[in-house]
Amino acid sequence: MAEAEAALVATRAAVPALPPRAELEALASDLPTLWNASTTSAKDRKRLLRTLVADVTVTSQVAGNDVCVGIRWRSGASEQIVTRRPPRQYEAVRTPSEATAFIVQRGPLLTNQDLVAELNTAGFKTGMGRPFDVDAVQWVRYVHRVPSPSPMQVGELSVNQVAARLGISADAVYYWIESGQLAARRTTNGRLCVAYTPDVEAACRKRVADSCHLPASPMTLGVEAV
């Protein structure tokens, strides 16, 4: 028995003495300072919460955005706080509707690079609050199915369209371009565009007629293929 009492006394003596009451009351009256102090560790903050709060109950409705937080304090008092449910990640970073409407309206006419320039000049920001770049614009194009502008200039045809008009294979047209027999412009995305003037068409038809490997091409225009 005496040993147990001696151990109890020793344990109590090892526990640091509490600060004076006035100091504790001062700390309690300014909890934000104590909470944000550089000397207060995360472990200390957890202990502080456990000292003040008995339990917390959170309830929410599936269809609503309100969340009710019930707090029961150690003193016996209780209170209820109603807050909004945090937005989902994809909602928080969603492109603002004004910027989306701009891309939907102007997207079929402008390249991604041009859209980036116009969006940033107008002061639009992404859902993350950053300036627009090509990747951000391309994502809005994909989600809202906004078509890209045609890379063709007036009077230009694609390789497939040229082949369809002449009644030959696209491989033959590619060969003409690679061998320098047919001029073509390559766009920034690598697509070949042929300036198909009447003179170019006449030269191509003569090349087909003179070739023993290519089928004779009708003089009427074929159906254009993209």
Q: Is the pLDDT reported for residue 15 higher than 80?
A: no
Assessment of whether the complete model's pTM goes beyond 0.75: no
Categorize the per-residue pLDDT at 217 as very low, low, confident or very high, splitting at 50, 70 and 90.
very low
194 forms beta bridges with: 157
Give the separation between CA 203 and CA 220, rounded to whole angstroms: 15
Please report the beta strands in 61-182, taking only residues with DSSP state E, as ranges in sequence order. Answer: 66-73, 78-84, 156-157
Q: φ and ψ at 166, to 5 degrees?
A: -90, -10
Of the two residues 217 and 23, the one the predictor is more confident about is 23
Higher-confidence residue of 110 and 15: namely 110
Size (the chain), residues: 226
Q: pLDDT at position 35, please?
A: 85
What value does the mean pLDDT take over residues 7-15? 70
User: Is there a contact between 96 and 127 (Cβ–Cβ < 8 Å)?
Assistant: yes
Phi and psi at 82, nearest 5°, equal -105, 125
Strand order in 185-186's β-sheet?
156-157, 192-195, 185-186
Tokens of 146: 């906004």
Name, in order, each residue with C-beta under 8 angstroms of 90's C-beta and a sequence gap of 6 or more.
Answer: none
| 72: pLDDT strictly greater than 70 | yes
Characterize 140-160 residue by residue with b for buried, 16 or more Cβ atoms within 10 angstroms of its Cβ, and e for exposed. Answer: bbeeeebeeeebbeeebbbbe
Residues 197, 155 contacting (CB under 8 angstroms) = yes
Average pLDDT over residues 178-201: 90
76 phi-psi bin (left φ>0, alpha ψ -120 to 50, beta other): left
DSSP state of 123: T
Query: Are residues 214 and 224 in contact, defined by beta-carbon separation less than 8 angstroms?
Result: no
> SS3 for 113?
helix
Does 199 score more than 90 pLDDT? yes
Burial class (CB in 10 A: 0-12, 13-18, 19+), 168: buried
Split at pLDDT 50, 70, 90, the class of 222 is: very low
Out of 147-156, 174-183, 209-218, give the one with best mean pLDDT. 174-183
